[in-house]
Structure formats: structure tokens, C-alpha cells
Amino acid sequence: MDIEGRRRVPHIEDGRVTTTGRILDLLRTQGTLSRVELAGRTGLTAATITHAVRRLIEGGLVHEVGLDPQQGRGQPRRLLELNAASWCAVGIQIDRTTTTIVVLDFAGGRIAHAGLRGSGGDGPDATIAALADHVTDLLRRNGVPQERVLGVGLVTHGPQDRERGTLLTAQPEPEWLEFPLTDTLSSLLGLPVLLENDATAAAFGEQWAGAVPTDTFGLIYMASGIGGGVVVDGESYRGRASNAVEIGHVALNGGSARCVCGNRGCAQAEAGPRAVVEQVLADAPLAERLGVNGPPDGTLADFERIARAWHRGDRDAAAPLERSARWIGQAAVTLVNLFDLDTVVLAGPAFVTAGPLYRERIAAELELRALSRALSRPEVRLAANVDTAAAIGGALHVLRTIPIGARAPGTSSDVPNHISAPPHEGAS
């Protein structure tokens, strides 16, 4: 399938229409299921399931792994499992100060992982070329043949035009606005590339990891900036430009700092990693003691130095973090009130060390101010994969969305149900 064809790839919300897609999704989240269980969970007839499973087994995507030990009397039920080795997907999360790449197998298991510097002041051309090199290198070092890679999920801040694979913002630099990100990376790698919002991808990644005990929750994502996401009944709400729940640009009560968006008092301007670093820089002896020196491309590294000092018990380092966490707690109150949530997840590289402090302070703000606090105490959780959730979500988005036929050699885009036989090399 060509690039034009890929643009018509349905999003996962639409992608659930295919029977095979629903079966693969269920097996990816549940591990093993019998045909009877698949029929029960999808509401489809036994005949439809049997037919679809036969096609998936013939295509090498699913295999039988023995009999269901839970079963009582009756005809023995064979358990089905995804063939993890059949395909892989790459997820890339990138922002100005950090890049994470993960490679997942077809069942969602992690094959490889790399943490790299962010785009810095580089333009999109140089950044995408470097990403293509890193991905090629990571696949080679881990023995993953390119032919087994279904596609790449590229995860960035919003707003985005996901159809065209472009950013609709001049952040981090003007040349990023409407640069053909996915088309450029796709032609360099020879793989389909999908664009996704970082907070949405992180929510997706956490849901997949089974780390959230509810299918309706909010997520606060903090890397260089602050973003948000909301999953309702298991589906993410993306908004018009993949930039829904932008709580980094909620103006806070008492805030006055000028924000890149043109407003004043936004959560990101008052409480984002840069604001924390600036506060430490204003105290020269403290900045020197903590090794904080303030280059724009080193914001997360400086923030991490402050967080580590807090972790070691440095009370001077705790003050700017606690101030930031209280501000973000205020934004979390808005998030919880707007969507009537009882769970908020914290994800993103800024929470790697400082996460427990933020969790505690944000929970305290919610307990004090959330409208629903009398009904239930909103819970704040740290993501299970706090720094890689977004990249994992990007790779999962590919596994769940790109038709298998799009990558099988010598197949056309009109393969029925988007399934055709994958290559088998490397399968085990």
C-alpha cells in the first residue's frame, strides 16, 4: 500500500470494525483465549470466529497453545495466542529535550529500548534523518529484520494534523510548522509512519500495560512541556487537532507568567520543568550546588538534577518542585471536574524521579478542591512505564491500526480484512 493508501488507514476507533482486528486486540490484551471466549467477548457467532481464527492461523499471526485448563465438561477448547514473532512495531517519542525509541513484538512485548537526546535546536530535516538512523541501528543491533516491522508510531506534542502527519504549531522552532514529519521518516525508513499525540499515546500505553484499574481516566504528561489526555470507556478523546485536554495551557488562579501560547498564567509557564529550572537559576548558590546551568536543550537534565537532589533529602531543591506540583494540582482539579474522573495518571520523563512528590501534592490538591471529593477520593497514580509510556503507546497504535497487508511483500492494498501472510524468518 502506498502513502496515499496509508492515509486512509482507519484510526483504532474505526479500526475495530474488522473481525480480525477485534480478535487480535483481545488476544493482545488478554494473552490467551479460546474461540468460545472470543465469541462471548465480541458477540460474534461461533462460525464467524472459527472462520476468522482459521485465517489468522494460516497467516501466521495466531497459534494454538494447548487446552483451556479452566474448562469443565464438553468438547476440549484450544487456547489461542498471538504469534509474538510474526511482526514488530517501533514507537518513537520525541520532544526538544528527550527521545525514546521502543520496539515491540506483535503481542506487545518489549524487544528493544533506547533513550536519546531530543531534537534540541535542530530543524525537522536533521532530526528526522537522525531518528531514521537510530531506528535502523536499534533494529540491526537487536537482530530485527526491517521486513518484520509493521510500521512506526511517531509521538510528539500537539496540535497535529494526523492525516497529513504534520505539526500545526511553530514549536519548538518555526520550521517545524507543517513540516511533513511522517512522509519524510517513512521515505527514509521505507516503513509506514503514523503520528500520535504524546499524552494520548501515554494513556494508551498505560492502559495496555494494565496499570490503570478503570477504563475512564485522565493523564498528565510532562516532558519539556505539560500535556493531558483523557480515556473514556477505553477510547481516547483526541479533539479536532489531536490536542485535546491541553491542561498545560489552563490559566491558573494567581498565575501571571507569560506563556509561549500568548496567554499568561498557564500551568506550563508557571509549573513546567523550565519554570522549575528558572526558579533554581534565580538562586545562584543553589544552582551551582545542584549543578543546574540552564541551557534550553538541557531543561529536562537540569530538572532531573533538582529532582535527584530532592530525592537525596535536599530541602532547598524540594521547594521549587513542591511549588510546581501544587500548580499542576490546580490544573488537575480542572481536569477532574471537567470529565468527572476518579483516576489521574502521571506519565512522562519529568516524573521519573520527582513522580512521588508530584503524586502526593496533586492528590492533596484534589482532595482539597475537586468537586467530587465528597463522593470519592480521586486517585493519583504514577505510570507503570513512566518515561516510556508514550513511545510504547505509539508502537501499540501501529500494531492495532496498520493493516497487516500494508507491509507484506507483494500484496495489494485490497487484501480482504487487511490480512495476508507475514514473512516467517526469525519466528520462534
Residues lying near Zn ion in the complex (CB under 5 A) are found at 249, 259, 261, 263, 266
Would you say 20 or 171 has its CB closer to Zn ion? 171
Helix (H) or strand (E) holding 345: strand 343-347
We find the least distance from the C-beta atom of residue 198 to Zn ion, in angstroms, to be: 16
Buried b (16+ CB within 10 A) or exposed e, 327-359: bbbbbbbbbbeebebbbbbbbbbbbebbbebbb
We find the least distance from the C-beta atom of residue 157 to Zn ion, in angstroms, to be: 12
Strand partners for 379: 343
- List, as one string, the DSSP characters of 28-51: HHHSEEEHHHHHHHH---HHHHHH
We find the least distance from the C-beta atom of residue 9 to Zn ion, in angstroms, to be: 32
Query: How far from the centroid of its chain's Cα atoms is residue 232's Cα?
Result: 16
Would you say 42 or 263 has its CB closer to Zn ion? 263
Would you say 12 or 261 has its CB closer to Zn ion? 261
We find the least distance from the C-beta atom of residue 252 to Zn ion, in angstroms, to be: 10
Strand partners for 34: 79
Q: 3-state DSSP: the chain helix, strand, coil percent, rounded to 5?
A: 45, 20, 35
We find the least distance from the C-beta atom of residue 331 to Zn ion, in angstroms, to be: 11
Would you say 225 or 298 has its CB closer to Zn ion? 225
Would you say 187 or 263 has its CB closer to Zn ion? 263
Buried b (16+ CB within 10 A) or exposed e, 134-161: bbeebbeeeebeeebbbbbbbbbbbbbb
Would you say 104 or 259 has its CB closer to Zn ion? 259
We find the least distance from the C-beta atom of residue 269 to Zn ion, in angstroms, to be: 6
Would you say 191 or 199 has its CB closer to Zn ion? 199
Check residue 77 and report its DSSP letter: P
Give CA–CA dist 228/328, Å, rounded: 11
Among 4, 21, 1, smallest CA distance to 165 is for: 4
Would you say 259 or 331 has its CB closer to Zn ion? 259
We find the least distance from the C-beta atom of residue 247 to Zn ion, in angstroms, to be: 10
The answer to whether residues 157 and 390 touch, using CB atoms and an 8 Å cutoff, is: no
Which residues, in sequence order, are CB contacts of 116 under 8 Å at separation 6+? 98, 99, 100, 101, 134
We find the least distance from the C-beta atom of residue 267 to Zn ion, in angstroms, to be: 8
How deeply is 297 buried, as exposed, middle or buried, from its count of CB atoms within 10 A (0-12, 13-18, 19+)? middle
